[in-house]
Amino acid sequence: MNYLDIVNSVLRKVREDEVLTADESEYSKVIEGFVLATKREMESAHQWSTLRTTIALSVTTGDPSWSMTGAGKRYTVDDIYDATNNVFLLPIMAIQGRRKNADGDSGTPTHYWFEGVDSSGDAIILLTPEPNDSFTINCNLFVPQTDTLADGDEVTMDEWPIILGAYAKAVAERGEDQGRTSGEMLQQYQSALADAIGLDIARNWGEDVWHV
């Protein structure tokens, strides 16, 4: 289901006319805001498998700092993997990483940390020891979908909780909808969200189990 379909689904629920573009009317713009707010809530609630992406960095000698192009600011880390040497990198505190690199440590990177963003707003990853050769570092991340969606863009997460969440917000803004209260609609949204998370976890067996 694309972005426009979701906006129109919410408009139908509140018995408003459908639109040809998501920002066609003042009220459809309000619904857009509710849709995007719900999308953000869902992205923060769970590491959705549909948001997984790999950003491959071609690391070269002597440069420990690399932009993760496309990661933005709201990413979370699945793992950081040295594909050249088939080994996972470990996180390190920034102060420790800076100290190691300041001491002149160089070699095959074993640890990483994040520090700031580049001019495009993408996160910067730093490696230690400083690379002494060329490596491919795969940054396996969960990256939320952009909020600047076009009408035809497919929404990557389950659309039903998004529709219910946006509807709950619309009902709250109106006060009620034919006797339905925002509290009732919020419970439906939360239930649908929990179901969607459960299905996503089931598709990725074992990832919710921690071994110590």
- pLDDT tens sequence across 27-41: 999 999 999 999 999
Residue 149 lies in a domain: no
**pLDDT digits over 14-63, tens only?**
999 999 999 999 999 999 999 999 999 999 999 999 999 999 999 999 89
| Residues 9, 61 within the same domain | no
Render pLDDT for 98-110 as a digit per residue (tens, 0 to 9).
999 999 889 999 9
Same domain, yes or no: 66 and 99: yes
Quick check: 72 and 122 in contact, CB under 8 A? yes
Nearest alpha-carbon partner for 162 in 16, 31, 23: 31
Predicted pLDDT of residue 176: 64
pLDDT in tens, 137-188: 999 999 999 999 999 999 999 999 999 999 999 999 887 666 667 788 899 9
Phi, psi dihedral angles at 182 (to 5 degrees):
-65, -30
Please tell me whether residues 19 and 38 are part of one structural domain. yes
Q: Per this entry, what is the length of the chain?
A: 212
Q: What is the pLDDT at residue 182?
A: 75
Q: Is 89 helix (H, G, I), strand (E, B) or coil?
A: coil
Mean pLDDT of 108-113: 97
Instruction: Give a yes or no: residue 22 inside a domain.
Output: yes
Domain membership of residue 148 (yes or no) is no
- If asked whether residues 40 and 111 sit together in one domain, one would say no
If one counts every other C-beta atom within 10 angstroms of the C-beta of residue 94, the result is 12
Whether residues 77 and 130 fall in one domain: yes
In a domain, 147, yes or no: no
Distances (CA, A) of 70 to 141, 155, 158: 10, 17, 22
Domain membership flag for residue 212: no
Parallel, antiparallel or unpaired: strands 135-142 and 76-82: antiparallel
Number of compact structural domains in the chain:
2
Model-level pTM? 0.87
Angle at 25 between CA 21 and CA 27, to 5 degrees: 115
Asked if 23 and 43 count as a contact pair (C-beta separation under 8 A), the reply is no
Residues 120 and 60 in one domain: yes
135 within domain boundaries? yes
Same domain, 31 and 111: no
Contacts of 38 (CB under 8 A, 6+ apart): 161, 162, 165, 166, 169, 189
- Based on the fold, state whether residues 27 and 9 are members of the same structural domain: yes
32 and 60, same domain (yes or no): no
Full domain range(s) for residue 10: 3-48+157-203
Is 110 a member of any domain?
yes
